[in-house]
Amino acid sequence: MTSTDPISRRNALLDAALAHVPFDGWSQPTFVAAAVDAGIPAAQARALCPRGALDLAVAYHRRGDGAIDASALGDLRYSQKVAALIRMRITASDKDIVRKGMALFSLPHHAAEGGRLIWGTADAIWTALGDTSRDVNWYTKRATLSAVFGSTVLYWLGDTSDGDQDTWDFLDRRIANVLQFEKTKARVRANGALSGLMALPNALAAHIRAPAGVGRDDLPGGRQR
């Protein structure tokens, strides 16, 4: 018998849906079949997931974020730790199910939701790595990592290499690109003439602060007055 706890029932609904997603996608038929399989009345299933299968797709993505764990990374270089956590996050998901999710979140009316989920994954990775930035760097780190993560997932979905090795090589190249960009930024700051051109943007950026609160309910954040 399904637990009466809402979180447990939502998890049961998600678990039941995963058997149907590869065939019917994150769709209404999948949602209805999951409710039947989980033994949850239709009205209760809708109360648990008001947006139906969309809420289950969101829950599946966030479940994958829960697999991010930096405790066993040891003495790896910082860039290696980032790569390891991205790989950990990707391999926590099923390729066919993620492919159906990409199809869902590529729809114009769900694109913003998909963007928020990728941003949330980037935030989870930086948080696991102990990121303490509270200024504009909080945003630039997550924006950069969102781009790296999103492009790597797209590459992974089409990868047929043994053990997805081509994907991990692709990931290493993207991180190398980011490191090169950071080196270029450092050279600009060290150049008196070029750094002067950045005085106004830097002054404006100095007022930007990361979201407040542990739950980060105010993502993506705002500007401090």
Q: For the chain, give the percent of residues with pLDDT over 70.
A: 80
Contact 202, 196 (CB under 8 A): no
Contact by Cβ (8 Å): 209, 221: yes
* Owner of token pair 């910082």: 78
Say whether both 83 and 54 belong to one domain: no
Angle between helix 95-105 and 136-157 (nearest 10): 120
pLDDT at 217: 47
Q: What number is the average pLDDT over the span 167-181?
A: 91
Residue 120 contacts residue 65 (beta carbons within 8 Å): yes
Q: Mean pLDDT of all residues in the chain?
A: 87
Find the DSSP H helices in 133-223.
136-157, 165-190, 192-197, 199-205
Q: Among the three residues 15, 41, 65, which one is the final residue of a domain in this structure?
A: 65
Q: What gap in Å lies between CA 176 and CA 172, rounded to an integer?
A: 6
Same domain, yes or no, for 86 and 39?
A: no
> Do residue 61 and residue 82 come from a single domain?
no
Output the CA–CA distances (angstroms, integers) from residue 123 to 127, 146, 225, in the order listed.
6, 9, 24
Among the candidates 22, 41, 65, a domain finishes at 65
Are 31 and 74 within 8 A, CB to CB? no
> So what's the pLDDT on residue 159?
98
Domain ranges, residue 34? 1-65
Domain tally, the chain:
2
Q: What is the pLDDT of residues 63-72, one digit of tens each?
A: 999 999 999 8
Mean pLDDT on 50-74: 96
Q: Are residues 93 and 112 in the same domain?
A: yes
Model pTM score: 0.85
Residues 54 and 150 in one domain: no
Q: Are residues 57 and 85 in the same domain?
A: no
Q: Tell me: do 104 and 123 sit in the same domain.
A: yes
How far apart (Å, rounded) are the C-alpha atoms in residues 37 and 45? 11
